[in-house]
């Protein structure tokens, strides 16, 4: 089973603008030191994703074909030898927060609060391994995935949190397990997430798309982009129209989850498929 990789060179992550990314990481470390008085121990990263084939079918168990993208969420981390976690954001739009370890298991999904996504990753990981908490640490987040832009900024946040928390606490779960935990954990904020976004963020690799299957179990197969001259490129256009999943979930995203499942049950009945557990229940 593959585990989350550790890299020492940004060229192993980014194929373009490595120098600009290097400055960004240096600025993150510098800002972390300004806030917390010391440099971070490490930086966790999880990218956003763009989907190529398979819209709104992952939560029905059908395969999808996304790929990870360069825009990402970074979380700089340093243990603080306390029973508290402090998290700040490089964007002044989001106020810093401080939590006791017990506070991180309480998530109010009715409140649109940026740190709830951090709590999702933390709570999901510890509930999965059967622990009630771990080490305290300081964290600083920097994200370049447009919020509400359809590129999975929330999944990148939750996945980066998982990677950070497991590193601090000496946990080392396989990538498939981390992806499944993240997909379930995002439901703490009221979103019936499928699993494509989190799998692409955790398991995506440079230069490849992912063919993701959910049945009978989660499986991600790398599909290398073909060589071409000029090189193959995907253009992702930001319309600047924001659709925040947390806000629109009750009338859009979550409703589509229900609609597709009802449609599947109608088809199953029409086709005489009645022996499956989902059809019986």
| Rounded average pLDDT over 78-103 | 95
Residues labelled catalytic: 197
Question: Which neighbouring-strand residues pair with 68?
Answer: 49
- What percentage of the chain has pLDDT greater than the value 90? 66
**pLDDT value of residue 202:** 97
State residue 249's pLDDT score.
65
Q: What pLDDT is stored for residue 30 in this prediction?
A: 98
How many other C-beta atoms can be found within 10 angstroms of the C-beta atom of residue 20?
10
Cβ contacts of 255 within 8 Å, gap of 6 or more: none
Mean pLDDT of 266-274: 85
Structure token digits, residue 167: 């590193």
Q: How far is CA 58 from CA 199, 274, 279, in A?
A: 11, 22, 18
Mean pLDDT (the chain) is 91
Does residue 280 surpass a pLDDT of 70? no
Strands (E), the chain: 42-53, 65-79, 84-89, 97-100, 137-143, 208-213, 219-224
Residue 279 has pLDDT above 70, yes or no: no
φ, ψ for residue 184 (rounded to 5)?
A: -70, -40
pLDDT at 218 over 90: yes
DSSP calls for 184-202: HHGGGGT----SHHHHHHH
- pLDDT at position 149 is 85
- Write the pLDDT tens digit of every residue in 7-64: 999 999 998 899 999 999 999 999 999 999 999 999 999 999 999 998 878 888 889 9
**CA quadruple 172, 176, 177, 181: dihedral positive or negative?**
positive
């Amino acid at each position: 089973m593959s585990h989350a990789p550790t890299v020492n060179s940004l060229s192993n992550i980014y194929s373009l603008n490595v120098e600009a990314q290097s400055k960004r990481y240096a600025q993150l470390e510098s800002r972390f030191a300004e806030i917390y008085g010391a440099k971070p121990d490490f930086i966790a990263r999880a990218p956003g994703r763009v989907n190529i084939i398979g819209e709104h079918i992952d939560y029905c168990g059908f395969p999808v074909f996304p790929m990870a993208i360069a825009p990402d969420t970074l979380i700089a981390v340093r243990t603080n030898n306390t029973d508290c976690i402090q998290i700040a954001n490089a964007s002044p739009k989001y106020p810093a927060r401080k939590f006791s370890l017990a506070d991180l298991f309480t998530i109010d999904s009715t409140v649109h609060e940026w740190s709830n996504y951090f709590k999702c990753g933390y709570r999901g990981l510890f509930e999965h391994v059967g622990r009630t908490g771990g080490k305290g640490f300081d964290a600083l987040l920097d994200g370049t995935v447009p919020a509400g832009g359809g590129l999975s900024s929330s999944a990148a946040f939750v996945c980066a949190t998982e990677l950070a928390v497991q590193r601090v606490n000496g946990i080392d779960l396989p990538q498939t397990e981390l992806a499944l935990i993240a997909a379930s954990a995002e439901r703490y904020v009221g979103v019936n997430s499928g699993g494509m976004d989190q799998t692409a963020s955790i398991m995506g690799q440079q230069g490849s798309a992912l063919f993701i299957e959910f049945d009978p179990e989660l499986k991600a197969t790398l599909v290398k982009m073909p060589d071409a001259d000029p090189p193959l490129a995907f253009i992702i256009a930001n319309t600047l129209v924001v659709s925040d999943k947390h806000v629109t979930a009750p009338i859009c995203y979550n409703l589509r989850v229900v609609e597709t499942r009802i449609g599947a049950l109608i088809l199953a009945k029409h086709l005489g498929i009645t022996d499956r557990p989902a059809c019986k229940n």
